[in-house]
Structure 1
Amino acid sequence: MQRICVIGGSRYFGKLLVKRLRAAGHQVTVLNRGSTPPPADVEHLVADRDDETALTTALGSRTFDVVVDQVCYTPVQAAVAARVFAARTRRYVMTSTIEVYDPATAALPAVPPGTPVPEELVDPASWTVATDLPWHDDTYLETHYAEGKRQAEAVFARAEGFAFASVRCAHVLGGGAQDFTGRLAHYTERITQGEEIAVHANARPTVFIHHEELADLLRWAATAGFTGPANACSDGPLDVHDLATVVATQAGREPVYRTVPAGAEASPFSVDRHYAMSNARAKKLGFSFSHTADWLPGAVAEALATAPSPTA
């Protein structure tokens, strides 16, 4: 049994992570702003992670074997957490994102199309950190999401007092109530209604992970002992047409596509640049991934069950 603090952990795959940790016999503390309570057998601390004094007060004298940070988006948040937890944990795991590799958001080395992107493309130990940018501005943060994650990783990678690992998540999918971004519903609704799906002319494949698999991977990462970034994605990349085909097959409707110019906004998961991740490092470290074909049809079925009735 280990003492594990989950920052966030009240929604979506974070909530499932907490259940997985408890089922594995760990002592779990959830720290969030109090909007949603955790299960009854989990300690709940309420604090705003942006408020260093409040965070320190809420933690009191508690120490942990591991902290799993589900909701760190900026280097400012990371710096606060690094100071507060420096003497309170021996391991810190941050949930990061595939978007750190998006070449549209930073000057990154080119990766040939079709070559899975490895972790070393974005090295947090050498990434520039700028805490004086307007990270507290929601509009700025929304448009600089990938850079916020890169810099947050960089702050933790240089912190002293604990070992650090980041899990760079692929696009997370689930059906029904687990479709927390609404992106799968975008396809089920448009296909069942016969509405257009906006796609790029040369849409590139991207990578996905089921919300349950991601919860399992984060549970594994909490105690696996590795440091540095690890990519988290199921085997079997898909482009936007592949995804739409799975939905259309179950819906019994043909997808209708509308091609948009390069650089224009399109439907979710239609990308005109390559940054599909490699999961080779996590496999080498001992995690076994599923294939998208193992779970995507089930997620689509759940999404279709809640989609509006098709129009005539």
Structure 2
Amino acid sequence: MLHHDAAPLRVLYLGGTGTISTSCVRLSVEAGMHVATINRGRNEKDRSLPDGVEALIADVADDAALSAAIGDRTFDAVVNFLSYDADDARRMVSLFGSRTRQYVHISSASIYAKPVWQSPITESTPTAPNPHLPYATAKWRAEQALQDAHVTQGFPVTVVRPSHTYDDANPPLPGGWTVVDRIARGAEVPVHGDGTSLWTLTHAEDFAQGLVGLLGNPRAVGETFTITGSDVYTWDQIYTIVAEALGVAPRLVHVASELYPLVAPGWFWSGEVLGDIGHSAVFDTTKIRTFVPGFAPRLTFHRAASRMVAWRRDHPDTTTADADTEAVLDRIVGAYHAARDVYAAWRAS
């Protein structure tokens, strides 16, 4: 039987040490909730969890291991950061249908149909499969499965759609720390399009305000929320802010979005460029502010960039450049120069 409302909320996080989930766990503990996490016990980014968190170890993709780790416990809220497709969503319905009052599915704002037909984006903006981004399509199908379970079985789902959410250990740049390293050493960095499309960035600590504020609220069951900050920049500004935090001038080259999948087929960010970040994305956060009146994002990207640079200084082992990503970025920059040379030759002929 689920425990009484007067007691502290019991919350289970599937995940708990990732880019977004770590901040949510910390804020849940600060709010006085009883928090458990379940994952494989890996923490590659050195993100620390607060004292008092019950860490359960299991592969969430293994039904037997997951059930054994949870036992016969029930929770006021289950928050799943590790669910990516419809089959998995249906597994969660089966496992948690009688174990929780609220199941929070972390979806993605990348499921909004692109190009967006109106701005700002709201929860009622049409969603659709994304042919350029299998991840977004899978998230879209997972939402459909959970909404169907809510309608037909009363499954207590709350859907949350983050947009581009980052933390100090994970910079929001296509290519991550490898791009930061290129900026720091003065190498050229490719920027999709002409660098002027608008993009919304949200620090995980700000996202956590919205998510944690929804936990335990029965009115949020059956609802969908986009949770983002109000930090909107052009991509040129995003790269330039990182460069300023590093104390250097950026060397940006503008590359047509359509060129990315031709030069770097199979690279995740190539699909992102065409299917998501190549489009302007500005969000209306009225709904989350209505349900969580205290939701008030505080971190601008200028401040966050300085924190990321400090993190890079203090964690050199986990913020180094990746050779494979470096090679991809070199190819994209090389394609830009090759196209420019062909154009210059044509103009001179």
- 103, 117, 120: which one aligns with 1:116: 120
The residue that corresponds to 1:168 in the other structure is: 161
The residue that corresponds to 1:185 in the other structure is: 177
On the 8 A contact 2:214/2:291 being kept in 1, the answer is no
Residues of 1 paired with 2:280 and 2:307: CA distance?
A: 29
- Structure 1 residue ranges without an equivalent (≥5): 105-109, 129-141
1:195 aligns with 2:201: no
On the 8 A contact 2:77/2:101 being kept in 1, the answer is yes
Residues of 1 paired with 2:201 and 2:33: CA distance?
A: 28
Residues of 1 paired with 2:228 and 2:186: CA distance?
A: 30
For 2:13, what is the secondary structure of its paired residue?
strand
What is the correspondence of 1:123-138 to structure 2 with a 5 Å cutoff? none
User: By how many angstroms is 1:117 displaced?
Assistant: 1.2
Deviation string 1:91-137 (CA, Å, 9 cap, x unpaired) is 11111222112527xxxxx414xx111112246xxx79xxxxxxxxx
Residues of 1 paired with 2:138 and 2:49: CA distance?
A: 27
Q: Decide which structure has greater helix share.
A: 2
What is the correspondence of 1:47-66 to structure 2 with a 5 Å cutoff? 47-66=58-77
- Amino acid corresponding to residue 249 of structure 2 in structure 1: E
On the 8 A contact 1:157/1:228 being kept in 2, the answer is no
User: By how many angstroms is 1:243 displaced?
Assistant: 1.0
The residue that corresponds to 1:296 in the other structure is: 301
- Amino acid corresponding to residue 237 of structure 2 in structure 1: D
What is the correspondence of 1:262-301 to structure 2 with a 5 Å cutoff? 262-265=257-260, 271-287=277-293, 288-290=295-297, 294-301=299-306
The residue that corresponds to 1:220 in the other structure is: 213
Q: Structure 1 residues 35, 254: CA separation in 2 closer, same or farther (over 3 Å shift)?
A: closer
- 70, 73, 78: which one aligns with 2:81: 70
TM-score calculated relative to the size of structure 1? 0.78
Cα RMSD after superposing both structures = 3.1
Structure number with greater Rg is 2
Residues of 2 paired with 1:78 and 1:171: CA distance?
A: 22
On the 8 A contact 2:77/2:215 being kept in 1, the answer is yes
User: By how many angstroms is 1:53 displaced?
Assistant: 3.3
The residue that corresponds to 1:253 in the other structure is: 248
User: By how many angstroms is 1:280 displaced?
Assistant: 2.2
User: By how many angstroms is 1:252 displaced?
Assistant: 3.8
For 1:167, what is the secondary structure of its paired residue?
strand
Aligned length: 283
User: By how many angstroms is 1:168 displaced?
Assistant: 0.9
After the TM superposition, which segments of 4 or more aligned residues of structure 1 sit over 4 Å from their partners? 36-40, 180-184, 266-270
User: By how many angstroms is 1:167 displaced?
Assistant: 1.5
Q: Structure 1 residues 20, 182: CA separation in 2 closer, same or farther (over 3 Å shift)?
A: farther
- Structure 2 residue ranges without an equivalent (≥5): 1-7, 262-268, 317-349
On the 8 A contact 2:231/2:301 being kept in 1, the answer is no
What is the correspondence of 1:2-17 to structure 2 with a 5 Å cutoff? 2-17=9-24
User: By how many angstroms is 1:178 displaced?
Assistant: 4.8
Residues of 2 paired with 1:143 and 1:91: CA distance?
A: 29
Q: Structure 1 residues 262, 2: CA separation in 2 closer, same or farther (over 3 Å shift)?
A: closer
1:148 aligns with 2:154: no
TM-score calculated relative to the size of structure 2? 0.71
Residues of 1 paired with 2:309 and 2:77: CA distance?
A: 38
